[in-house]
Amino acid sequence: MIVNSFNKRGNNVLQMNSNMSRENSFWQRDISVYLNCRKHDIIMFATLFFLTTTTSFAQQNDVECVQLNNKMKLELIEELKTKINLNYVEIDKIPLIIKTLEAIKHNRAFANVKSRQDFTRFINNTLLRIDQHFSVSSNLKSSGAPLKESWSEKLARLDWGFERVEVSVNNIGLLRFWGFADLNETSKEVISNHMRAIENVDGLIIDLRDNGGGSAQTVQYISSYFLKGRQHLNTFYSRASDSFEEFYTDPAIDFPHLSQIPIVIIIGPKTFSAAEEFAYNFKHMSRAMVIGKTSKGGANPWRYFELQHGLRFAIPTAKAINPVTQSNWEGVGVQPHLYIELEDAEQKATELLVRKLHVKRSIINHNN
């Protein structure tokens, strides 16, 4: 059985199918492609179209393959150190990072770095070992390169990140989405439609194994469907303002049944940032069982800072503080309750929920 639901724009926003096994049983609580920097011969064709596209590609190579001399590289290292000293939220880690950047100056491999592309690759390989949110990249606005579609724009274009919204013959719901899109009236409507589609399920699987994160406000909004009343989800500390911002569920979102059903959340190495927050919050609020593999380990919100020579630097400027643990998942990832191979995770989650519901019904029948 396939049931389609449409929003008022006429777009298909969800699909429910009955394809899960009846025999599920068991419960346990608790890109990069780099451009070639060498110049290529351009084969001339008679058509204007080919000439135009070939010229455009050559211009893109010129942008990506900007050469950096030793003086420029050292200037960038010093600028990275300054930006980190002034803005990085994990102050205790700064001495180690500065020491690491200083050591790079005498690294033989660094001496062989000749282009902007090589520089970003080398620096990112170094800094990502310290913080998964660090990233040096081309500043497309200043470099003249075509602007790429942003993460939030891609989410908005592709049904706000939702891939699967289904209900099985066992009345087990499934939500699978790959990002937490920016929160606005349109995304709220899409999320609400999906929640109404699963409103009467007996149990729910939330699949975040490919979810790369996004908006903290959307984490807050979606969480409100599964938690009753006003509950403290997370707090963010900002170094720039030396202030704290607390995030609570919205008690105006009242879905009593969804706030009581058992939930299993699937995570893995691609689960990142806001998606990790969602899983971490629900785990430590004892609201869901988390299964799969350890997540990527990025807890700290970041922002871009401009650098010289057409580059920019993403630096974490705030950090998450969970009200239960008084800590977060930075550098260590979210640890699941149950470790399982990801290819088996959906089936196992179904088995766990069916077992839980069977036990619950047996207790109710015994009491009656």
72-82 pLDDT tens trace: 999 999 999 99
In the predicted structure, residue 294 carries a pLDDT above the cut 80: yes
- Residue identified by tokens 């970041």 is 302
- Phi first, then psi, for residue 72 (nearest 5°) are -65, -40
How many C-beta atoms lie closer than 10 Å to residue 216's C-beta?
22
Look at residues 79, 95, 130 and tell me which one is the last residue of a structural domain: 130
Give the pLDDT score at 38. Answer: 40
Give me the number of domains the chain comprises: 2
Answer yes or no: is 181 within a domain. Answer: yes
Tokens of 38: 């060498």
| Cα end-to-end span (Å), the chain | 34
Q: What gap in Å lies between CA 43 and CA 51, rounded to an integer?
A: 9
Work out the pLDDT band at 361, boundaries 50, 70, 90. Answer: confident
Same domain, 229 and 99: no
Same domain, 294 and 233: yes
Answer yes or no: is 35 within a domain. Answer: no
Give the pLDDT score at 360. Answer: 80
Same domain, 119 and 193: no
Distance of CA 338 to the CA centre of its chain: 21
Answer yes or no: is 290 within a domain. Answer: yes
In the predicted structure, residue 50 carries a pLDDT above the cut 80: no
Tokens of 59: 């211009």
CATH number of the domain that residue 359 is part of: 3.90.226.10
Same domain, 250 and 124: no
Considering the entire predicted model, what is its pTM? 0.77
Answer yes or no: is 288 within a domain. Answer: yes
Range of the domain at 252: 150-367
- Summarize pLDDT for 219-276 with one digit per residue, the tens: 999 999 999 999 999 999 999 999 999 999 999 999 999 999 999 999 999 999 999 9
Same domain, 181 and 317: yes
Going by the DSSP 8-state scheme, the letter that residue 325 receives in this structure is T
Answer yes or no: is 15 within a domain. Answer: no
